[in-house]
Amino acid sequence: MGQGTFTIMPQIVADGLSVNMNRVRCPNPDTKFVPDSGPTVASRTTMVVGSTLFDAAIKLKAQMEAYASEAFFGGAPAELNEHFFKNTYTNETIPFERVADRLIKEKGPQRVYNQFKLPPQIRWDQRTFVGDSYPSYSWGCNVAEVEVNPLTLEIKVKKVTSFWDIGRVINPVLAKGQIEGGLTQALGFALMEKMGIKDGLFDASRMQTYVVPTALDTPEMSIDFLEFPFTGTALGAKGVGEVPIDGLAPAIANAVESATGVRINELPITPEKLLSKLGAVV
Amino acid sequence: MNKIVRTWKLNGEQRTVEFPPMRRLLDVLRDNLSLKGTKEGCSEGECGACTVLLNGKPVTSCLIAAGQVPDGAELMTVEGLEHTEGGRLLQHQYIEKGAAQCGFCIPGMLMASYAYLAGADDVDLREAAMREAHAGNICRCTGYEKNYGSRERRRRTMAERRETRKNRTTGPR
């Protein structure tokens, strides 16, 4: 829910097919029709499902081009480009709809099957647990600027600057939103969100007691992408799901150490923890 | 429990509804009036997902006994936005910015935006004030930046606000 799958999968398929995105529909996944491709984990959907669909779309495009070539261009190569199939020898064009209508009438709905394959350089031995357990990684770099109130020891994050390599960025708006959201959660994780156990019960089991960042707590954020497409798939995308939450808390801890001279090794970094450490220093 | 009858101006229309007086406004809206746009998040007034406008002011409908809302009160839910020019502009801006990810907070967030922008003549459009106006609405997936964080957004908000005021159907008396 909310990962952007229903936006980016049609984008990827439209790109692979060279058709307009509004020609692509993305039904709810159903294992009645397709094999179970595994869970939504490890930020893998874009890389694994996206690549599978991208390669499938390329196969489907080739299938349709082969039909257009044979049925309309007397065997001359056909190229699908948005609205037309083009005869690459004569530059003659036939509208997509005409080719598609006739193809469906003559041969019925076209289907292609494609399965994700790990790139050959990735090796993993499930028996000995040796090798590359993940084919690729996303990377991020976070810079946190913080102010610590010397009287109350309250910590305020003023600005976060971050750069991300998530491979090829499929949808910059959604990817940036995921990072803003991840950084906001990471900020809560670093400074505010505290869940303890008292007499066998969670002491922060409700939103009144488990305090998460609001719009007033989030700092200015500067977010940029450095795209190094993953070479193991044609699509080149990696994942953006989890990586945004990983780096900011350590960056804030480093910034707090730089400001106060003490290092807090346990999250959240609260004024109470700073006070006890600073007390020990003084 | 005995039921009571109330007639409200809901999203610009007269609506009469019968309910047990202690039923939460949230439940009367969702279950008696079938307006499912308003969402229940925390059920304790912290998250803002259930925000609706009561006489132009944003309220958390999970904390209000519907019997407390008198006859003739003006209510606006997220379904009412599309009937106003300003509401439609807000919706478009949220879409254009990609402000919704899972979308659960968005009905409440939109109502907070609408209430603030349509609320008074001298709306403070500086970033801090805009943030404060939305501080009662918690978003956990796409953060808050896309709703009102950017400078560009604030510039656009000026124009949007003028439209909202011109066309509002509900507001403080």
Chain A, 140 to 199: residues with Cβ < 8 Å from chain B are 173-174, 176-178, 180-181, 183-185
pLDDT tens for A193-239 read 999 999 999 999 999 999 999 999 999 999 999 999 999 999 999 99
Domains belonging to chain B, first-starting first, are: 4-79 (3.10.20.30), 81-167 (1.10.150.120)
Chain B, 142 to 171: residues with Cβ < 8 Å from chain A are 142-149
Write down the ipTM of this complex: 0.84
What backbone torsions phi and psi does residue A78 show, to the nearest 5 degrees?
A: -110, 145
Looking from the CA of A13 toward its CB, the CA atoms found within 13 Å total 19
Topology of A5-118 in CATH?
Aldehyde Oxidoreductase; domain 4 (3.30.365)
Query: What CATH class has A139-281?
Result: alpha beta
- Per DSSP, the three-state class of A164 is strand
pLDDT tens for A122-175 read 888 989 999 998 888 999 999 999 999 999 999 999 999 999 999 999 999 999
pLDDT-derived band of residue B114, with 50, 70 and 90 as boundaries? very high
Domain boundaries for CATH 3.30.365.10 within chain A: 5-118, 139-281
Residue A161's beta-bridge partner residues? A143, A222
Count CB atoms within 10 A of the CB of residue B108.
Answer: 28
Region for residue A147 given its phi and psi (left: phi exceeds 0; alpha: psi -120 to 50; beta: otherwise): beta
Q: How far apart are CA A154 and CA A44, in angstroms?
A: 38
Is the N-terminal amide bond of A268 cis, ω within 30° of 0?
yes
Q: pTM, whole model, 2 decimals?
A: 0.89
Cβ A184–B136 below 8 Å, yes or no?
A: no
| A171, A179, A180, A206: best to mutate for the B interface, most B CBs within 10 A | A180
Q: How far apart are CA A55 and CA A10, in angstroms?
A: 13
Choose among A177, A178, A207: nearest Cβ to B42.
Answer: A207
pLDDT at A41: 84
Q: Nearest CA of chain A to the CA of B28: how many Å?
A: 23
Instruction: Name the residue with tokens 């971050």.
Output: A162
